[in-house]
Structures are given as C-alpha cells and as structure tokens.
Structure 1
Amino acid sequence: MLDVPEIIKQRCREDNNRTETVRHLELSFFDGGIDSLYPSNDLYPAYDLYPADAGAAWLTIGMDQICAETLNLTESLSTGNNIIWGSCEAAKFVLTVADVEDEMTGREFTATLSIGDYKMAYGIYIVDSVTRLQADRRKRKITAYDRMIKFDADVSDWYHAMYPTDDATHTVKELRDSLCEEIGVPQEQTALINDGLVVGKTISPESLCGRDVLKAICEINGVFGHFDRTGTLVYISLQDTGLYPSDTLYPGDDLYPQSGWAAAEELEYYRSITYEDYLIDGIDRVQVRQEEGDIGAVVGSGSNTYVVEGNFLTYGLGSADLTKLAWSIYDTIAGKTYRPAKIVSYAMPWIEVGDGVRAITTDTEIATFVLTRTMSGIQAMMDTVEAKGTKTQGQEFGIQNEIIQLKGKTAVIVRSVDEVSATVTDLEKQTAAQLKVVSDKITAEVKRATDQEVELAGSISVLAGQIEAKVSRGDLIASINLEVNKAGSCITMEAGHFVFKGSNFYVNADGSGGAANGNLTWDASGGLVAKNIKLIMADISGTTNSSSIGVSTMSAQNANIDRLTVNGSSEMRDIVSGDIYADDIQCTQIYSSRAGEWWSDRRMKSDINPISPEAALAVTMALKPMTFYMVGADEKDMGFVAQDVAEIESDLPLYTMLDGFYALPYTSYVALLSGAIQAQISKLKEVLHAK
C-alpha cells in the first residue's frame, strides 16, 4: 500500500467539484526510454516527479487530448479461480486520445495522476497497439502494458551464457539479478527466502521465455512478480491473516489476540459488494514435485495441498533439499485465508495488488485480498477490486513449460484397482527403473541412455506360465524365455554368443569349451578332442577347418561318411554306397565272401535287348590290348586305350566320360567276351559239320 496522506485519500472520496479534487492525467514519452525511476511512489511535492536523467519528453499528452472517462487500468497478482503463487502478470493500460498523430507503438511512457496539487506516479507502460476509432477518426485507442511484457523475450542465450558448462552453478539471487540486467529493468532490492539456493544447469532449452524464468524464481520463494507504479519489479507476499496475540502482553489491554487484517484498508464507503458465504481454507500442506504422480517432497499434515510442479529450478535436488525447499515455501504461503469477494468503490490509487481490504456490511465484515483491481475513468474514477477462490485449493500449477530437462529425480507411485507401479527416474544420469504389477503380470525394467550411447535396457516379466528376461543395447538383444504349456516345457535363449560355466559343461567367450567332465573339448577354431567317447548311434556330418576328423576307434550302427581313411586295421560288416569314385585304391588284402557281385535282377532293369554273337565278336576283334603306366603310378598296367575304343563303330556303350576324361566299363566287357566266344563256337561247329 502506498504511503499517501489521509487528506489526499479524502480528496479521492469526494466529488471533483472543487479545485483540490479535480484529477488530471498526463502521459510523457521520452526519446531514450525512462532509464531512472521516480524517487518514490509518494511524489509530493511536484518537483520530485520526473526522473532526473530522462531528458525532455518528445511527446506529452495532457487532459486536453485525453478522453477522460475512457481510462482503464487493470492490475493483477493472480487471475485464476485459485491463487497461483509465482504468477507474474502484466498490468494493462487502455486510454483513448484525440488529435495525436505521432507513432507511439512500441514506445515507453510514464503516466502521472494529479489530484489537485498532489501528483503521484501512475505507472510506466509500453504501447502495444494504437487503433484509430471508426466512429471518430480523430481519436485513437492506446493499449499498453507495464514492463512485465519485456520478460516475454527469448532468454535461452542468456541461460546458456550463465551455464557454459554442465557443472556451472549460481544462486537464485544471482540468477534474478542477472535476468533483470539482461531484460533491462530495475528491481526492488530485497532478500527472498530462497535466494541462497544453489541451482545448476538443469535444462537445455532451444528457446526460453524470460517470464517463465521469473515465474520459476517467484514460485519457489512464495511471492508474486509485479511492477509498481515507478516501473520497478517488486516481489509481493500476501499478508498473514490469522489471529495473533500481542508480542508484549502488558499492559492488559494488549492481552487479547489481534486480527491479521488490522492493517488492511477499511472501506467505509463502497458502491456494491458481492461475496461468497465461505472463507478460503488456508494452505496447510505443500508438495514439490517434477511431474504428476511424482512423490517429490511433502510437508505439512493437512489436506489442503498446494503443489509446486515442473519448476526447472528444482530439478536434480535430492530428497533433503526438496524437503527444505518445501518447508520454506510452506512458511511463506500457509494459512492465508480470505473471503472471495468483488467490491466496487471510489478510486483508491494508493491501494496496490496484494493489499488487504475490509468492508463492513450490515451483518458481517468482509476481509479479502486485492488479487485483481481495475481503476476506470478519471474525474469519476472508480475502483473494482476482486479476489476469486474455491474453498479448498485446486490442483493448479504455476510453471509448465516444454523445455529439455537435463537434471531431475522423480519417484512416481501409482495405486489403482488396475495396477500398482513404482517408477524412479534420474534425468541427470538418464536412468529409469520401473516395477509394475497387474492382475496377470509382473514386470520390472531398467533403462539407461546418454547422448554418447544407444539405449541400454534390462527387463524381466513374469506370467502364470512364462518368465522372460531380456537385455538390449540398441538392436543387440540377449534374452531367455522359460515357458510351460500343454505342449510341454521349453527354454529359448537368444544372444550373439553364449558363455556357460560348469564342471560338466562349459563354453568360453571365444567359443571354446568342453563337456563330459573334460573328456570332450573343442577350441575356438573348431578343433575337437574326444577321450573315452563311445558312440552307440551317430550321424556325423560336416568337417573341421582341416576337412578331417581324427578318431582312434569309432563304432556306429549307421555312419554317413564322405571320405574314410583307415591307417590301422578296420572291421566293417556292411558298406552301402551308390557310387565310389577313386583315382587309386590300394589294399594289401581284401577279405570278402561276396566280392564282385552286382545287382542283376530282371525286376531292377528295363529295355532289355540281346547283343548278337556276331556284333560281340566284331567289337572284340576290334579291341587293341595294350600295356601302359597310369600317369603318377609306378606299376605297369594293361588294358585298352579309351580313344581307340571310341573309334569302333558300334551302338554299344563301350565307353563313358568322367570329369572330362574317357573311362571304360571293363566289367561290362564280360558280356562282349561271352558273345564273341558263342560266335566262335558256332563257326567251329559249322566247320566240323562240313567235314
């Protein structure tokens, strides 16, 4: 509340039919802006009115150009249905002027109100828009706001300059001083309850509104940001409203408690008043958290809770620091009770938002705060003060921004008929853990990711017939799944490689391992060593890198082998093979009771045709027996040359091609020899018969 002499207050209550009660408004525009302040809100006598170094005004608008009753000045601390501590609302100044053609948009001006010979500051404002009226083109409507709108600038560069590294820190006092200097506005020199709080780099914003930063600072200090009539940023706290005894209980007339509204402005005259039948319950519990569902820190034992949520200055604070912060806010805002009301009265320019007022009705006293006020008109200036509020505090939160958070710890517990879950998050370490229970499933999950790495995650889920554990790093996954159903039980494992450690079976990270208590081992290259291993039934396929398997003794009922080399003695009961191809087969001894037998059953043949003895004799007579050495062999051999056989004119299959070389089916030549002998015997009989 401004310190205005009672005689001036009385002038405001009276009609303006005398010189000392006539009101005058004046707007002054300066070239360089208003760099210094009014010396005080109480500007009487008049020579203290203007700043000493502002220079001469380039434009002055007096009452001769002002449409007097068009003035409308609205100031607010908090305009919501419930108080939001930390609010920083701009005052709105609306006025219609005539015969002013100068360009005023974006320019700053001072407003002074004179009541007779008394002058008082009426604020410093920045013109937002100038609109020419259609009904009278001489007139222009000016809409302006106080210096709070300067904070609507992007201050992300300022923030990054304040925090050039992640480990940089500043106190709240340093932040607000630097912010006001960055914006270019003066502030009240005062100490706030959490000025000493040390704040690190908690966000990494691409854009950051200066007013959001100011709101965050005000919120954790339990105050409101507001520009007074001199253009100075001030921090407003609501007065205590309870009943308190005198500090000194002697003499006796000071014995009884005194009302917390004793210092409030008493309204003896007012035009109208409307109010609620209830008093606002004072805040008796404060919670500081980062997001909805987060436990954060809670102090106070009541049920009317005020929640500080999403304030980036609190990110990264531990439990103890959050609790200390919550208590400091509680001590500032708790117990503020008032009656929601709207009062229309004579102008009270000495009243400021945040002040208390008392109005006496026929049956009660209405005590409330000036949370919003509108002064309208000049000569017939009226004041409308209002305070809204529900009986208990609703869940309304101050600072809610979409900014990139760097630091923060949250613990969120959800309890409902559908689920019970707990989630703990540390944004600085970029870790999160969650345990969730629903009616048919339990899951636990931990995640971690930083800017330099892909996300790491580990989870386990439990169902009635299945347990699954999984870890992942980006696209890499390792999992194990245990499942039981009607088809049976199954264990499924998936990984890039496996490592097992056991006495009877083990696999190392490089792929080597062993089994059967060390009797079977293998190395990373695929070498296999088996000791005392007996294969009752075996199906061996594949090779090592040397294309061979060394075995001292092998016993198997069925073995499919591409190549068999026996260095020692070998006993084989039955060898079944479709084709055996070999360049050279050398055997010292072959023992067989049925060697040389071939399948020759008629049922296994088709297109059977006889070979005439004459054709067999002709081919046999054309054969040229030879002796020769096979290339690469040391022993002389005998037989035929396949190219010579190929020159014999015959339709019989006398030769074949194998891998690009001629080959002769020597065993098939038995049929030719049989036919040739038959032909010779037939001719011999003819000769003998002729004799």
Structure 2
Amino acid sequence: MLEVSSLHKKQAIENLIENTLTVSFPNGEYEDITEENIASESMSLKQSICDESKLKFGGCIAAEFNIDIVNSSDRTFTNDLVGKWISVKLTQRFPSGEKLLPFAKLFLGASLLPGETVATKEYYLFSGIIDSAKLDKNNRNQRHIVAYDALSMLYDIDATNKLFNLWKTYPNGYKIGDLVVQCLNYNGKHMIQVEDNKDILDEVINQSTGLTVRNFPTYNRAWLEDSNTITYGELLKNCCELLGVFGTIIPNASYGVFRYIELGKSIETYNFYENLYAEEYNSSGYNGFNFSYGYSLSDRKAKTTVAESQWGEDVVTYDFTKNVVCWQKDDGIGGGLVHDVQSLLHGKTGERFYYCSYTPLTATLDGRPWVQIGDGIEIESYVTDSNGDFVYDNAGQPKKEKVKAYVLSRTLSGIKALTDSIEAKGE
C-alpha cells in the first residue's frame, strides 16, 4: 500500500470532487495525453501476483493497462505509439479540511466563511511500454491502447546461455541477490531499478556460518544438463518463490521500480461494497515443503525430499519441485544443499509461507489508488439468517463480520468513478 495519510484517505473516500488521468511519455517523445483526448471511463488496469487456484508464491506477473484515446481538432494519434514508454498518473481533488480565509481579509465588511480549500493528491498507476494502438472498428478517430510493464519483456528474453556462462564462471554458486539483478538488467539496455530490500535478501538462514539468502548456491547441474530453456522472467519467479515473496513493478514518473512484495504488510478496511462473494472457509498457510535434489544422467529424474516445518501437527505441503533454484545436484555436497533449503524454510523466510491464511473471495469495491496487490483487505459485511434477513445483537444493532483476504488479483477500472474488482482464489 502506498503511504497516504489517514486524512487523505478519509477525504478521498467520503468527499472526492474529481479524478483526472494523465498519460505522459518519460522519453519526452509526445506531449501528455489528458482528459481532452481520453475516452470517458475507458481506463482499466489489471494486476496480479497469483491467479492460480491455490496460493503460489513468486508471481512476477506484468501489469496490463488499457485505455481509449480519441483524436481532437489539433491532435491525431497514429500507430507509432507502439513501443513507446508511458507513465500514467491519477490526480484526485477533494476538500482539504482547511477553511478558506474570511472575506474580511479581502473585502471590508465581509465575515462569512465561503467554504474549504481543495487539496490534490497524485498517484502513479502504471509505468510500461505500449504493445498495441489499434483503431476502433466503429470509430476511426479512436484508438484502443494496450500496454504492459517492464516484467513482460523478461518473459521474451532467453536466459539459458547467460546462466550457463555464469555457472561456468562461478562453479561454487552465484548469489541470489545478484541473480535477481541479472534478471532485471538482462542486456544493459532496459535497466529496471530495484528497491533496496536488504531485509529480504540478507536474511540469515544459518546462524553458525552466517549463510544468507544472498549467498545461497544456485549452481544447478540437474537443470544445466537438461535441454529445457528458461527466460529471465521465469528465473525471477523462481528466485522470488524461494524467498517467499512476489515481484511487481511499482510505477513512477519514469519506467517503474521493481519491488519484492510480502503478503499483508498493509491492511485496508472497507465498510461497504457493491458485490461480495466469500467462501465459508479459510485457505491456510503452508508448514511443509517439497523440493528436489539429485539426478541420474540416464533419466535426469530428481529425487524428492520433504522439509517439514516446526509449525502445527497437520502438514500442508508447498511444492517446490519445479523450482530450478531449489533443484540441486546431489554430488557429495548435496546433503549440505538440502540442509540449507531446510534452514531457509524453517527461518524467517518460512514464516512468510506459514502466515498467509485468508478467505477466498471475489469483491467489487470502490477504487482506492493507494491500495496495491499484495495488500491485506478486511471487508465488513452484515450477518444474515437463512431467509436473508439481518441478524441483530443484544443491543438491537445488525451484526457484522469481517472477511479477510489479500489482493492477489485486481482490475481497477474507470476514471471519474473508480471501481476495484478484487479476487483471491483458494482451495
């Protein structure tokens, strides 16, 4: 969640005057596109860190931005928009809570307070590159713009040869923190800034040796001798999964910043909604883990080991077996590698897998631009009986309950009237 004062949140929710949208070009190739050339309410922003049927960590999924732009008497848009970087900013205007000066300060004899000043707050919703700018079939003065953030490019670039050379150069292992940077700056041309998350990358998983995630071995002979290829995007997901986090691009005035997301670091509460469907059960966190090590030259099949955690009696297993960072060759030091994975999952990283219970739901809520994927949400709903009537407490007030989940997938749509469609799947 973006850092926004409680006053700003309250005023924006209760007393919003208007939203305006601006599409700018960080490279300075075009003038800003403003509401004069934006079709009414045509914006949608799709974001996700997990759209699978059960909670899967590591999701580094590109955001998709859609909008319709229209020609005006002094401006015509063409297909040369494709390939251009854009930054999308939403500006909200609402009463500041501060009174205007009395007219007496300006005109003698006046004494009334005419109203409140208006405050503005800006939010960057998207940073990315335009993928298509197609003419509307029914209106040739209008184009439909589709753009994706920088993560999308990582899934188009093969990382196999780069990693092969890295592992030949560093046969004793390559740091995960450095590997993530390699993923994000894959050719020196598209440099994606990375937030300094040392609290994640430098977690100690072996107190006696000081071994940290940053030093975790990634020399993976089992995968290296396979014929499969891997992209930078897939490798980045594998690294984030091992850390028990997700990855996303946080938009700004230029190309965005890559951030590791931990579930539920911020909580947003809603006391009204348009639609809400919530399951009657919770999807619980994980306290047992499967991963693979060792292989045979004849069949390249890895063994599977189970690292059971210290939490609880019922083991809910998380499957790492397709994670290339966990899948290690058992060549005499394999036992040590297995021990390091277990140490990692029994430490602070494992807690991120464990503390992630939530209620599966879909909800349509008012759009709050400071809410981000990965945030926790609490939705207050009324308790009803079998007839659909309210259930009342002893004081005669309708009973309420809170449904708690995470923003795993969302679509923020509209402009003047923002709507957020949120989904958290679960088994």
TM range (shorter): 0.7 to 0.9
Partner of 2:304: 295
Return closer, same or farther for 1:167/1:189 CA change in 2, 3 Å cut-off.
same
The separation in 2 between residues aligned to 1:118 and 1:325, in whole angstroms, is: 41
Contact kept in structure 1, 2:271 and 2:381, CA below 8 Å:
no
The separation in 1 between residues aligned to 2:325 and 2:379, in whole angstroms, is: 40
Return closer, same or farther for 1:293/1:210 CA change in 2, 3 Å cut-off.
closer
The separation in 2 between residues aligned to 1:166 and 1:115, in whole angstroms, is: 51
Query: What is the letter of the counterpart of residue 223 of structure 1?
Result: V
RMSD: 2.3
Partner of 1:84: 56
Partner of 1:101: 77
Contact kept in structure 1, 2:186 and 2:232, CA below 8 Å:
no
Deviations 1:355-407 (A, max 9, x none): 111111112211111111111100011111221101xxxxxxxxxxxxxxxxx
Among 51, 68, 87, which residue is 1:110 paired with?
A: 87
Displacement, 1:320?
A: 2.1
Structure 2: state its 5+ residue gaps. 94-119, 204-212, 296-300, 384-400
Return closer, same or farther for 1:140/1:223 CA change in 2, 3 Å cut-off.
same
Displacement, 1:223?
A: 0.7
The separation in 2 between residues aligned to 1:380 and 1:331, in whole angstroms, is: 38
Provide the secondary structure at the position in 2 that maps to 1:163: helix
Query: What is the letter of the counterpart of residue 308 of structure 2?
Result: V
Displacement, 1:209?
A: 0.5
Partner of 2:173: 169
Query: What is the letter of the counterpart of residue 353 of structure 1?
Result: I
The separation in 1 between residues aligned to 2:230 and 2:33, in whole angstroms, is: 37
Displacement, 1:165?
A: 4.3
Partner of 1:215: 237
The separation in 1 between residues aligned to 2:161 and 2:304, in whole angstroms, is: 33
Map residues 453-532 of structure 1 onto 2, 5 A cutoff. none
Map residues 372-383 of structure 1 onto 2, 5 A cutoff. 372-383=409-420
Displacement, 1:57?
A: 4.8
1:359 equivalent in alignment to 2:346: no
Partner of 2:273: 270
Query: What is the letter of the counterpart of residue 108 of structure 1?
Result: W
Partner of 2:192: 185
Query: What is the letter of the counterpart of residue 177 of structure 2?
Result: K
Deviations 1:133-165 (A, max 9, x none): 111111000011111112111223422342344
Map residues 215-614 of structure 1 onto 2, 5 A cutoff. 215-230=237-252, 231-239=256-264, 264-289=267-292, 294-300=303-309, 301-314=313-326, 315-316=328-329, 317-318=334-335, 319-328=338-347, 329-363=349-383, 364-390=401-427
Partner of 1:445: none
Displacement, 1:283?
A: 1.4
Query: What is the letter of the counterpart of residue 225 of structure 1?
Result: G
Provide the secondary structure at the position in 1 that maps to 2:423: strand
The separation in 2 between residues aligned to 1:306 and 1:281, in whole angstroms, is: 11
Where relative contact order (Cα < 8 A, 6+ residues apart) is larger, the structure is 2
Among 39, 44, 53, which residue is 1:72 paired with?
A: 44
TM-score by length of 1: 0.47
Contact kept in structure 2, 1:226 and 1:235, CA below 8 Å:
yes
Deviations 1:153-178 (A, max 9, x none): 12234223423447253111121123
Partner of 1:416: none
Deviations 1:465-510 (A, max 9, x none): xxxxxxxxxxxxxxxxxxxxxxxxxxxxxxxxxxxxxxxxxxxxxx
Contact kept in structure 1, 2:49 and 2:59, CA below 8 Å:
yes
The separation in 2 between residues aligned to 1:165 and 1:189, in whole angstroms, is: 26
Provide the secondary structure at the position in 1 that maps to 2:303: coil
Greater Rg by CA: 1
Moved more, 366-375 or 116-125: 116-125
The separation in 2 between residues aligned to 1:59 and 1:24, in whole angstroms, is: 16
Displacement, 1:15?
A: 6.6
Contact kept in structure 2, 1:28 and 1:57, CA below 8 Å:
no
Contact kept in structure 1, 2:171 and 2:219, CA below 8 Å:
yes
Return closer, same or farther for 1:211/1:339 CA change in 2, 3 Å cut-off.
same
Partner of 1:159: 163
Provide the secondary structure at the position in 1 that maps to 2:417: coil
Displacement, 1:267?
A: 0.6
Displacement, 1:335?
A: 3.3
Partner of 1:559: none
1:135 equivalent in alignment to 2:138: yes
Deviations 1:643-675 (A, max 9, x none): xxxxxxxxxxxxxxxxxxxxxxxxxxxxxxxxx
Structure 1: state its 5+ residue gaps. 32-55, 241-262, 391-691
Deviations 1:578-620 (A, max 9, x none): xxxxxxxxxxxxxxxxxxxxxxxxxxxxxxxxxxxxxxxxxxx
The separation in 2 between residues aligned to 1:295 and 1:302, in whole angstroms, is: 20
The separation in 2 between residues aligned to 1:200 and 1:294, in whole angstroms, is: 17
Query: What is the letter of the counterpart of residue 346 of structure 1?
Result: D
Provide the secondary structure at the position in 1 that maps to 2:31: strand
Partner of 1:148: 151
Contact kept in structure 2, 1:108 and 1:124, CA below 8 Å:
yes
The separation in 2 between residues aligned to 1:85 and 1:232, in whole angstroms, is: 20
The separation in 2 between residues aligned to 1:144 and 1:356, in whole angstroms, is: 27
TM-score by length of 2: 0.74
The separation in 2 between residues aligned to 1:156 and 1:389, in whole angstroms, is: 33
Provide the secondary structure at the position in 1 that maps to 2:304: coil
Partner of 1:524: none
Contact kept in structure 2, 1:342 and 1:387, CA below 8 Å:
yes
Contact kept in structure 2, 1:296 and 1:322, CA below 8 Å:
no
Partner of 2:214: 195
The separation in 2 between residues aligned to 1:82 and 1:7, in whole angstroms, is: 36
Deviations 1:540-594 (A, max 9, x none): xxxxxxxxxxxxxxxxxxxxxxxxxxxxxxxxxxxxxxxxxxxxxxxxxxxxxxx
Displacement, 1:309?
A: 1.0
Contact kept in structure 2, 1:30 and 1:59, CA below 8 Å:
no
Contact kept in structure 2, 1:70 and 1:95, CA below 8 Å:
yes
Partner of 2:20: 24
